[in-house]
Structure 1
């Protein structure tokens, strides 16, 4: 296999991975938007939530957009390599470069605005607790969404079990949701002594536990993008020299 053939093979392999990654991300984005029991659906129902929360709730659309772009990239890269199309290869390089620049800018924004995100989470915790106290046990949508979230994450409330204090459910039953205790039923005394962690703590814990994986994946994607740009330009230049 000559150098040109090797470049075509590498280009096809890189973009095959990009295409599959795009399909996966697109599927996750669609699932987030259509799943009425997701945590994002619950957050969307919180009255008086901070305006900045709208940016978090748009994560489904972001995933759909990223997935669609990666699908397009995979298609352009594979077809450009197979058909030896300079136009496709150049368009592929430009799009990957723009995506790479956007990713770097996004990483910088996350680092710079981390304190803002922490304040947003604190404000969200206050609004969510108020929402639980007002509607849990009375509003069937809010009740079902919280039950689903707590069952999935094995947690209790947004902050902790005290979010439910004064709610219609606790007022009527004199108990906390069964998810708040290690055993059922969950009377007030047991909740005070054996309550499980809040959902916020569980989410933060999941992020911390998987932070290394997240960083590794991000670096892997960056290396893949840089490699794909190098290979696409090398293939682009070799087409003229054939």
Structure 2
């Protein structure tokens, strides 16, 4: 068996498994994970964060669909279906690049929009807005932070109510009469600690987009090689 025949035989199986199992599963998993992370704090985030994670999920789902063309084209050695598969892979490659670029842009704009969002929602905390109150308490407890820059931000917003209990670590044996103030509150602001969390996940989206786009080039090369080999057989016959 010639070297070209061996390459052709294994390239078609590698092509299908490569895109169907690896890319489909990995991209959908990352997209769902990112969406779950961002959804927990959606009141503080720009919708673009949710859209980028949705884009990854869509890319993964589309890969499962177009893998049908790859399977049929590779098994039946159909030039038309293999060429269609190659074209669709190029489109997927472009979408992955878009996801990566979006991750980069979001990461660099995180502090700017987050400061504005935190400032706006902080004013709504004492206005019977249960959703805003819940998210603020969740952020402060989970990231052990208080206010935007520090605990004094709360006293500027509402001097009579004091600062939320979520700003302070609950000591063992503490009762409902526990008072949270600027003395025993968390020292770091949420802009920095929560911002680091958001940037980290934006970096994940960015890395996945760039990494998979680079690897996807191998899939495109394999698909183009297989389509060319099949066409060459037809022309020879």
TM-score of the superposed pair, with normalisation by structure 2: 0.70
Alpha-carbon distance between aligned partners in 2 of 1:107 and 1:6, rounded to the nearest angstrom:
31
Uncovered stretches (5+) of structure 1, i.e. residues with no partner: 45-52
Contact 1:159 1:198 in 2 (8 A): yes
Give 2:183's aligned residue. 189
Q: How far off its partner does 1:11 sit?
A: 0.8
Give 1:231's aligned residue. 222
Contact 1:18 1:74 in 2 (8 A): no
Alignment of 1:1-242 (within 5 A): 2-15=6-19, 16-25=21-30, 27-28=32-33, 31=36, 38-40=40-42, 42-43=43-44, 53-104=46-97, 118=109, 121-136=111-126, 138-166=128-156, 171-172=160-161, 174-178=162-166, 180-184=167-171, 185=178, 186-191=180-185, 194-204=186-196, 207=199, 217-242=208-233
Uncovered stretches (5+) of structure 2, i.e. residues with no partner: 172-177
Alpha-carbon distance between aligned partners in 1 of 2:47 and 2:202, rounded to the nearest angstrom:
25
Q: How far off its partner does 1:138 sit?
A: 2.7
Alpha-carbon distance between aligned partners in 1 of 2:201 and 2:14, rounded to the nearest angstrom:
34
Alpha-carbon distance between aligned partners in 2 of 1:26 and 1:83, rounded to the nearest angstrom:
33
Shift in CA distance, 88/127, structure 1 to aligned 2, threshold 3 Å: same
Alpha-carbon distance between aligned partners in 1 of 2:53 and 2:102, rounded to the nearest angstrom:
19
Equivalenced residues, count = 221
Q: Structure 1, residues 56-106: CA drift from partner, whole Å, max 9, x if none?
A: 453343333333333334443344323433333222211222333454466
Aligned-pair RMSD on alpha carbons? Answer: 3.8
Alpha-carbon distance between aligned partners in 1 of 2:187 and 2:8, rounded to the nearest angstrom:
64
Q: How far off its partner does 1:182 sit?
A: 4.3
Alpha-carbon distance between aligned partners in 1 of 2:197 and 2:36, rounded to the nearest angstrom:
23
Give 1:47's aligned residue. none
Q: Which has the higher contact order (CA 8 A, sep 6+)?
A: 2
Contact 1:11 1:232 in 2 (8 A): yes
Higher Cα radius of gyration: 2
Alpha-carbon distance between aligned partners in 2 of 1:158 and 1:68, rounded to the nearest angstrom:
39
Give 2:175's aligned residue. none
Alpha-carbon distance between aligned partners in 2 of 1:183 and 1:98, rounded to the nearest angstrom:
52
TM-score of the superposed pair, with normalisation by structure 1: 0.68
SS of alignment partner, residue 138 of structure 1:
coil
